[in-house]
Chain A
Amino acid sequence: AQTVTQSQPEMSVQEAETVTLSCTYDTSESDYYLFWYKQPPSRQMILVIRQEAYKQQNATENRFSVNFQKAAKSFSLKISDSQLGDAEMYFCAYTTGNQFYFGTGTSLTVIP
């Protein structure tokens, strides 16, 4: 069974600093996709970054980047130059096609 684990229910970071959110997953598949979503208090989940498992290069979107370790089944999100607006819930997700599996989320606090 596919599972996604986020072991850090809460994280905090000083404004302008860097923080890394952890995610591990369990799968027997070789071809899949990984995502990070963020969820503001308004509730709608928004895609942050996407990684294709067959690509070794780590995905990057502006201040957001991932550290994808396929052998270790690890997919961490690094947020650089943290801003107050980054204070949201972050969810890691996995899919092989059309059914997604989500972690339980990490709540990020940004300290001014």
Chain B
Amino acid sequence: DAGITQSPRHKVTETGTPVTLRCHQTENHRYMYWYRQDPGHGLRLIHYSYGVKDTDKGEVSDGYSVSRSKTEDFLLTLESATSSQTSVYFCAISGRGGYGYTFGSGTRLTVV
């Protein structure tokens, strides 16, 4: 979907290094989310934002931080990457929840 982009698409990093993933939207949606997807677990919410500088934790937030300084950008940071954070990360945006999410294309992160 052209309204939401994630970068990078793929990344390999070493254990202990910081990593930042970016989500950019052009839809001016209020809500933005970061999920991770792992086999057998579906999608699990890491953090979400309900406005500029307004963020909250999801069910798997340990080891992750987020920032949203502009409506269009939502950054996910792994302060010190671990192998357990190897996953596919999805960003999603929502204007009104009842109408569903729009997802980004995902970032495949491998921590070695």
Q: Which residues in A have some Cβ–Cβ distance to B below 8 Å? A: 4, 33, 35, 37, 42-47, 50, 52, 91, 95-100, 102-105
List the one stretch of B60-68, B75-83, B96-104 in contact with chain A. Answer: B96-104
**Whole-angstrom CA separation of A44 from B40 in the bound complex:** 18
B104 contacts A44, CB within 8 Å? Answer: yes
B43 contacts A102, CB within 8 Å? Answer: yes
A104 contacts B97, CB within 8 Å? Answer: no
**Across-interface contacts of B103 in A (CB, < 8 A):** 37, 44-46
Q: Which residues in B have some Cβ–Cβ distance to A below 8 Å? A: 1, 31, 33, 40-45, 48, 50, 58, 88, 90, 92, 94, 97-106
Which of B33, B41, B42 has the most A CB atoms < 10 Å from its CB?
B42
Given A43-B106, A45-B103, A103-B97 contact (CB < 8 Å) = no
- Min CB–CB distance A82 → chain B (angstroms): 23
A-B CB pair tally, cutoff 8 Å? 57
Selected from A4, A42, A98, the residue in CB contact (under 8 A) with B94 is A98
A91 contacts B31, CB within 8 Å? Answer: no
A95 contacts B1, CB within 8 Å? Answer: no
Known pairs A43-B105, A44-B103, A99-B45; list 19 more (Cβ under 8 Å).
Answer: A4-B42, A35-B100, A37-B103, A43-B106, A44-B106, A45-B90, A45-B101, A47-B102, A50-B98, A50-B100, A91-B42, A91-B43, A98-B31, A100-B43, A100-B92, A100-B97, A102-B42, A102-B43, A104-B41
A43 contacts B45, CB within 8 Å? Answer: no
- Min CB–CB distance A38 → chain B (angstroms): 11
**Whole-angstrom CA separation of A50 from B102 in the bound complex:** 13
